Amino acid sequence: MTKTYKLKVLAGDGIGPEIIKETYKIIDWINATSDIIIETSEGLIGGCSIDKHNSPLTDETLDECKSSDAILMGAVGGPKWDNVAYDIRPEAGLLKLRKSLDLYANLRPAKVLDALIESSALKPEIVKGLDILIVRELTSGLYFGTPRAIEDLDNGEQKGIDTCTYTTSEIQRVARVAFETARKRSNKVTSCDKANVLATSKLWRQTVTELHKNEYSDVELDHMYVDNCAMQLVRNPRQFDVIVTDNLFGDILSDESAMLTGSLGMLPSASMGGEDMPYLYEPIHGSAPDIAGKNIANPLATILSMALALRYSFDSKALAQKIEEAVSAVLADNLRTSDIMSEGCKEITTSEMGSAIVAKLNG
Ligand code: NAD
C-alpha cells in the first residue's frame, strides 16, 4: 500500500537552493519507483525570508513546518545579512525552528567511506572504517541560558555574561536518544562532560549514570571529560560508537569529527524532538557563500540528510540504505565534486553529482 508523507523544504541561502535542487532528483526517483510518496512544499528561512518578510522565519512558515511529517533544510546566512539586527539575523530563524519544534537531540553521523579515506586529515590506518555518531543536546545549555548580556561597568570596562543551565529531564531525554540509538548500532555510549569543573556537567554525569543503571544497563557506558574526548577523537576515533554531550561541547566535537571524514560537504544531520513534532534534516555545513551559484557545491550531505529522513521519519530503512549505497558507489567510480577532489578522480558539478546518484539508483 502506498504511504504519503509531507516534507517541508526550506532551501535557504547561498548554496542551499543548489544542493536542494539535486535532492529533488532523489525525491522524484523515490516517488516514481517506491511504495511511498513524498509530497513537498517549499518555504523561506534565513536571509531570503528576511528580504521578503523582514523576519528569518515567519510564524506562517513555522506552522506549515509543524504540520508536516519532516523538514529538509539547505543552509542559512551569508555576508549580505551580516549587518541586520541581531534578533532577525538568518541564524535566528534556525534557532526559532529548533526551539519551537523542541528539537532537543541533534544526531550527526561521521562515517569514513573507503573511497574518501585520503580526504581525511588523519592517516588512513587511524580512520579506516570509522563510523561514529555524535548526539548533541540542542535546545538548552549555554546557547539558550539567561541572563545573557554585555554590561557596562563603572570602571569603563564591559562584562560579557552567558548562562549555562540544564535540568534533569533535559539531560534524561537526550541521553535516552543516545542509548536507544546505540542499541541499534554497536551498543556503546560515551557521555562527554566537564564534571571536574562545571555544575551542569556534574548533574549531567549523575543523571546519565542513573538512567543507565535503571533503564539501559545492557548498553556499555563510559564517561569522558570533553578535553580528553577532543584529544581521543584524533588519537583513536574508532574507540567511539555514540558520543552524547551538551550543546556547546557537541557543537565543537561534531565539527572536529567532521574533519575526520574529510569534507563538510559529505555530512548529514537529523534533529529530533517530541513524538508529535516533525524532525529536521539538514547538512552540517553552512551556506558557503564563497562558492554559491557556481554549480560546484557538494550536494551529498543534503542527499544523505534525505536518507536520514527516510530512515527516521518515513519508516523506509531500505530506501535510506539504497541511497547511501548509491553515494558510496558513485564515489567508488571516482566521481568527485571539487571539495573532495583527489588525484586520479574526475571532477564533476553539483548537478552532475545529483544525476550520477540517480543513475546509480536506477542501475
Ligand atoms: P560553511 O560551512 O558555509 O563553509 C566553510 C567552507 O566549506 C567554505 O570554504 C565552503 O566553500 C566549504 N563548503 C561548505 N559546504 C560545502 C559543500 N556542500 N560543498 C563544497 N564546499 C563546501 O561555513 P562558513 O563559511 O563559516 O559560513 C558561511 C555562512 O553559513 C555564514 O553566514 C554562517 O553563519 C552560515 N552557517 C549556516 C549554518 C546552517 O545553516 N546550519 C551552519 C554553519 C554556518
The predicted structure's pLDDT at residue 29: 98
The predicted structure's pLDDT at residue 1: 81
Alpha-carbon distance values, 315 to 182, 214, 300, 305 (Å): 18, 29, 21, 14
pLDDT band, residue 258 (cuts 50/70/90): confident
The predicted structure's pLDDT at residue 212: 98
- List, in order, residues 6 or more apart from 74 with CB less than 8 Å away: 10, 11, 12, 13, 14, 15, 16, 17, 19, 20, 282, 283, 287, 302
With a pLDDT cut of 70, the percent of the chain lying above it is: 100
pLDDT band, residue 120 (cuts 50/70/90): confident
Q: Between 3.40.630.30, 3.40.718.10, 3.55.40.20, 3.30.110.30, what CATH number should domain 124-260 receive?
A: 3.40.718.10
pLDDT surpasses 80 at 163: yes
The predicted structure's pLDDT at residue 184: 87
Question: Which of 189-203, 274-288, 347-361 is predicted least confidently?
Answer: 274-288
Please, what is the average pLDDT of the chain? 95
CA of 233 to the centre of ligand 1 (A): 22
pLDDT band, residue 127 (cuts 50/70/90): very high
> 116 or 193, which is more confident?
193
pLDDT surpasses 80 at 263: no
Question: Which of 8-12, 77-81, 112-116, 167-171 is predicted least confidently?
Answer: 112-116
CB 172 within 8 A of CB 127: no
pLDDT surpasses 80 at 262: no
- Residue range 320-345, pLDDT digits in tens: 999 999 999 999 999 999 999 988 99
Ligand 1, pocket residues at CB < 6 Å? 15, 75-78, 91, 94, 264-265, 282, 285-291, 297-298, 301, 339
CB 110 within 8 A of CB 243: no
For residue 298, which atom of ligand 1 is closest to its CA?
19
CA of 225 to the centre of ligand 1 (A): 28
Domain limits, CATH 3.40.718.10, in the chain: 1-120+262-363, 124-260
Q: Distance (Å, rounded) from C-alpha 35 to C-alpha 209? A: 42
The mean pLDDT of 113-134, rounded to a whole number, is: 91
Exposed/middle/buried for residue 289 (C-beta within 10 Å: 0-12, 13-18, 19+): middle
For the record, the C-alpha cell of 146 comes out as 539567561
pLDDT surpasses 80 at 309: yes
- Residue range 165-220, pLDDT digits in tens: 999 999 999 999 999 999 989 999 999 999 999 999 999 999 999 999 999 999 99
CA of 162 to the centre of ligand 1 (A): 25
Sheet holding 105-111, edge to edge: 36-43, 3-12, 70-75, 279-283, 268-272, 105-111, 131-137, 242-245, 188-193, 220-225
Topology annotation, domain 1-120+262-363: Isopropylmalate Dehydrogenase (3.40.718)
